[in-house]
Amino acid sequence: MKHKIHQKGIFALAGGVCVLAVFLSLSLGAVQLSPRELWQAILGGPSGTAGAIFWYARVPRTAACVLAGAALSAAGCVIQGVLRNPLASPGIIGVNAGAGLAVSICCACGVFSGWAMSLSAFAGAMACVALVAILAGRTGASRTVVVLTGVAVNSVGNALSEGVRVLFPETGMLGGDFQVGGFSAVSYPRLVPGGILICIALCVTFTLCGELDILALGDETAQGLGLRVGFYRGLFLLLAALLAGASVSFSGLLGFLGLIVPNAVRRIAGDGSRTLLSLSALAGAALLTLCDLAARLLFAPFELPVGILLAVLGGPFFLWLLLKRRGRHD
């Protein structure tokens, strides 16, 4: 009973912080909107200055933060559970780099938004996941090998993306915001396809929490319980690639979010996949929205790409995880 009450309290706190973050993101910025102006903008549509700012700037940007934060955090949970490695995340094992390369190629071909970009980002992310899995499997798939293989694939993907941008200058829209992650250029045509894919992938992932719990017990135990290990591992990696790839298509290469949030939530809520996924999605949405808000306000009138703040938080956190695990063997 106490455990259930504790979990309800954590969910209520996470949900409250997320709602507060959304309200602040919609209200604050270069032009501040009072609660009355927000209500009038909601009722009146995109008419007038406040309505135009609300519907064409604040709503897509806030929705992008919530969707990307939930998707990347959930993807981090899934990857860490499947690989049984708390150091794994979409950015570290090359998922973001693969998606970024696919988006760069799309832009070089003249496609800057829509379903083609979102699906290409997913395909690039999945290709990197498959490559990391194959290379790690052939070199002894320990936890450290998986991470180091992902780092190598990540470097190659980023280098190829830079090459595409050099050869095709018209891809200059993938500037600083895309490279470090940012939402200043988010629009409905860029957001909607990726957002739909994220919602579908999240729904499917939540229905498979039981299988993810079993898979996290180890291959031998999972097989003994009758789980088709190879099939479900591939399915979960596909879902993680879809979540991360769809996010990259409109948010850019945000790093460390899928590493920070699942590890922090796990220390509070334990390892149960359903609770861990739900809380990570809420916490990731709230954290990314607040970081984006801080990036908008801290150096106003200049705007800092939100990926820089995440890197400042994520780099030390990753080093702390490494130091905490020193002396342990895979």
Asked whether the bond before 35 is cis by omega within 30 degrees of 0, the reply is: no
Count of alpha carbons within 13 angstroms of residue 52, beta-carbon side: 3
Q: Spell out, as residue ranges, where the chain has pLDDT lower than 50.
A: 2, 329-330
For the stretch 203-232, pLDDT in tens is 999 999 999 988 888 778 888 888 888 788
Q: 114's torsion region: left (phi>0), alpha (psi -120 to 50) or beta?
A: left
Q: What is the pLDDT of residue 2?
A: 47
For the stretch 287-323, pLDDT in tens is 999 999 998 898 877 888 888 888 888 878 878 777 7
Closest CA to 171 of 181, 163, 180: 163
Find tokens 């390369």 and name the residue. 101
d(CA 222, CA 201): 23
With beta carbons less than 8 A apart as the criterion, state whether 161 and 289 touch. no
With beta carbons less than 8 A apart as the criterion, state whether 65 and 248 touch. no
Q: What is the pLDDT of residue 280?
A: 94
The alpha-helical segments, DSSP class H, found in 139-272 are 143-167, 176-180, 188-207, 209-215, 219-224, 229-251, 257-269
Look over the chain and give the mean of its residue pLDDT values, rounded to a whole number.
83
Question: What letter would DSSP give residue 12?
Answer: H
- What is the torsional sign of CA 76, 235, 102, 248? negative
Per the structure block, which two tokens stand in for 298?
């801290």
Q: What is the pLDDT of residue 140?
A: 54
Q: What is the pLDDT of residue 49?
A: 83
**% of the chain surpassing 70 pLDDT:** 89
Q: What is the pLDDT of residue 83?
A: 79
Q: Would you call 76 helix, strand, or coil by DSSP?
A: helix
Per the structure block, which two tokens stand in for 308?
């820089």
The amino acid present at 273, given as its one-letter code, is S
- DSSP letters, 108-155, are HTT--SSHHHHHHHHHHHHHHHHHHHHHHHHT---HHHHHHHHHHHHH
With beta carbons less than 8 A apart as the criterion, state whether 88 and 146 touch. yes
